[in-house]
Amino acid sequence: MRWWKAVGLAGVAGVVATGVVVVRAERRRRAYTPDQVREQLHARLAQAASAAADVETARARPQPAPGLSERVRRLFRRWSGRGK
């Protein structure tokens, strides 16, 4: 047998094995009833919503902007430090 025949047979075997895997996955997917699929989707949605809510509560709250008096104090501190 020539080498190209062996390569061709290996390629065919690979295609067949891939087809078997795809068919098995399709059978597993189709084994669910529409109600089961709907329940899974609702559960995923609830999980994603709770995770998003957790992220929002964990964010740091922004601090208010400094007032005019605080800005003036900072400005004087800068000027007083430069003269030294």
Residue 67 within any structural domain of the chain: no
Give phi and psi for 61, each to the nearest 5: -80, 135
Residue 65 within any structural domain of the chain: no
Residue numbers of the domain that contains 10: 1-56
Residue 21: in which H helix or E strand, if any? helix 3-30
Write out the chain's pLDDT in tens, 84 residues. Answer: 688 888 889 999 999 999 999 999 888 888 888 899 899 999 999 999 888 877 776 665 666 777 888 888 888 888 887 655
In eight-state DSSP terms, residue 74 is H
At residue 68, the pLDDT reads 85
Residue 49 within any structural domain of the chain: yes
Residue 84 within any structural domain of the chain: no
Residue 66 within any structural domain of the chain: no
Q: Which two tokens stand for residue 28?
A: 């597993």
Number of domain units in the chain? 1
Residue 41 within any structural domain of the chain: yes
Residue 77 within any structural domain of the chain: no
